[in-house]
Homo-oligomer: A and B are copies of this chain.
Amino acid sequence: MPSYSLEYPKEPFSTVKRLSNRADYALETIHGIINSCQILHVSYNVPDSPFPVIIPMLGQMGSFARPSADLGDVLELYLHGYVSTRMANASRKDSPEGGLPVCVAASHLDGLVLALTPFHHSCNYRSAVVFGRATVVEDPAEKVWATQLITDGVLAGRWDNSRVPPTRAEMASTAVLRVTIASGSAKVRTGGPGDDREDEEDAALVGRTWTGVVPVYQTLGEPVASGYNKVERVPKYMADYIRDTNEESKSYAVEAVHKVMVKKKTDD
């Protein structure tokens, strides 16, 4: 546990240039945004195409060497999802850099910020990106550990409440990528709208235009049992997770409206 707040280095490709008062390089902020985001967007380049590719994947930050590490510690990102043969080969390649260069983004939309004029409309959000090199996890122990990390990231406690350990065949057809992080940054907006003084002083405009924030949050709904489910009641660990996650998401979005940022008027 570091006694001070670790930050990622500001590389040319990772430095937030516009609205830099919204930027944050603290590992704890960046890792927290990633670990609470259920879909991560992973970008990489493929040979013979001018376009980078983005695929959605599940993932969690963690440390196999020190599983008790905090969010603010140096961590790796473990990704699970579709790993193409091409992607796997590039990640396995014994290049001097070691691994496939990727950018991974995690974004939470927290609110629609409605101002008097479209120009000052904005969103409350928490977004993070990390840059790093992805390699395929080969060590069986690390792979099982990462699979548990990611499974519990989707629904806390699910690993211990399902049929584990995975069979050898299951693990053989599961691909996990480990991203060693080179840098990263986060950008966060909170608060209400900000308009130009002349619009705010236009009584007719203010009198007819609702301004404020519509909070936005993800909701986990009522569980729907499968055709072969035999467990009558939704287990407590699931009900607790659903309730806690929903309360947390909603209260963050609502509280973000009143969280004041140090910001310039023109920053919307």
Binding stretch for chain B, among A24-32, A71-79, A157-165: A157-165
Q: Tell me if B210 and A238 are in contact (CB < 8 A).
A: yes
Chain B residues closer than 8 Å to A205, beta-carbon distance: 163
A40-58 with Cβ < 8 A to chain B: 41, 43-46, 48-56, 58
Instruction: Given A38-B109, A118-B162, decide whether A129 and B53 contact each other with a Cβ distance below 8 A.
Output: yes
Closest to A202 in B: B163
Kindly state the separation between the CA atoms of A53 and B200 in the bound complex, as whole angstroms. 37
Instruction: Given A82-B19, A174-B119, A229-B210, decide whether A112 and B219 contact each other with a Cβ distance below 8 A.
Output: no
A227 beta carbon closer than 8 Å to chain B: yes
Q: Tell me if B224 and A127 are in contact (CB < 8 A).
A: no
Q: Tell me if A215 and B226 are in contact (CB < 8 A).
A: no
Partner of A214, one of B159, B206, B220: B220
Least CB distance from A240 to B in Å reads 13
Copies in the complex: 2
- Subset of 24 A-B contacts with CB under 8 Å: A38-B109, A41-B41, A41-B43, A51-B102, A56-B107, A112-B154, A116-B162, A117-B170, A118-B159, A118-B163, A118-B164, A119-B166, A121-B162, A161-B209, A206-B230, A207-B230, A210-B225, A211-B228, A211-B229, A214-B242, A217-B218, A219-B250, A224-B257, A224-B258
A199 beta carbon closer than 8 Å to chain B: yes
Q: Tell me if A121 and B53 are in contact (CB < 8 A).
A: no
Instruction: Given A53-B103, A56-B107, A154-B112, decide whether A221 and B250 contact each other with a Cβ distance below 8 A.
Output: yes
Least CB distance from A119 to B in Å reads 4
Q: Tell me if B209 and A51 are in contact (CB < 8 A).
A: no
Residue of A19, A228, A234 with highest tally of chain B CB at under 10 A: A228
A87-120 with Cβ < 8 A to chain B: 97, 101-105, 107, 109, 112, 114-119
